[in-house]
Copies of this chain bind each other. A is one copy, B any other.
């Protein structure tokens, strides 16, 4: 049998505030960094990063933005580290399988939904806020292009607050994959799966939760029962009054999809391309909506984390 060294060299580093919060049972919300490095334009991305953290704090929880610096995975980036990932060129978009490579190469990376969820769960953070999940791509029946987010969510017992999946994906196929792989999906105050920029994707969810306490109890049950169900996806739609205008959305999406094909954009370049297209074609309105989404999700995630901490001692 292999003999492991007494101390591994590759570990996850906790920021000081996050370490203390986890030690004392203070609620913590994990946050991804890809939205900052790859999802929003500079320097607005850095401002949004700070707003997200303030929003989490306002609920009584501690924000823990995850990223990779010089190969080290950090949970709870400080202001200087956030600035570095937000403003430096060449930061890798790092899914779970990229983390060991970055560790070995001592590279910088921004974490995706998959890698943020995996890292958060590993250090004991049960709640995570993002904008939208990755999913099944529209041409996946022939290309097999499916986000690694799905595989990680299938095995990670964490609550992920999102506004559905990006409208550039195959939404019903993504919902089927979530079902096949045992991921719980809860609509927060809705029976419909949200459509990211839109309040309603047009597809229903199986379960609805009207109260944060119900989400917290579902998460508690997932983690205590340990029956192999994966993440609890909390689908948090924008109010209709705050969504992108549906007619504008549909036109811009169609243009963007046509642009991908015309310009031969594929793989990891698709999401940044389409987000940039939405930004340009909506004259910045998509950026405003995107920011609203992540702030609303951070706020709900904070409230879930606080409620979840409360469930812990309910019978003590």
Contacts and interface: CB of A to CB of B under 8 A. Distances in A.
Interface of A: 1-12, 22-23, 25, 73, 95-101, 103-105, 114-115, 118-119, 122-126, 136, 140-148, 150-152, 154-156, 170, 172-173, 176-177, 179-186, 206-207, 214, 217-222, 224-230, 232, 311-316
A5 B96 contact: no
Contact of A96 (B4, B142, B229): B229
Nearest to A219: B100
B313 A5 contact: yes
Contacts of A182: 95-97, 114, 148, 151-152
A101 B144 contact: no
5 contacts: A119-B227, A136-B144, A143-B173, A144-B177, A150-B180
A123 B227 CA distance: 10
A221 B25 CA distance: 29
Given A5-B315, A96-B228, A96-B229, A101 B218 contact: yes
A236 to B, nearest CB: 16
A12 to B, nearest CB: 7
B180 A227 contact: no
Contacts of A8: 224
Contacts of A9: 220, 224, 311, 314-315
A104 to B, nearest CB: 4
A265 to B, nearest CB: 15
A221 to B, nearest CB: 4
A71 to B, nearest CB: 8
Given A104-B218, A141-B142, A150-B180, A115 B227 contact: yes
Which of A101, A143, A148, A214 neighbours the largest number of chain B CB atoms within 10 Å of its CB? A101
B228 A179 contact: no
A181 B100 contact: no
A148 B180 contact: yes
A10 B224 contact: yes
Contacts of A136: 144
B221 A103 contact: yes
A268 to B, nearest CB: 8
Given A5-B312, A8-B224, A97-B179, 10 more contacts: A3-B312, A5-B313, A7-B315, A9-B224, A10-B225, A96-B227, A97-B182, A98-B184, A100-B221, A147-B180
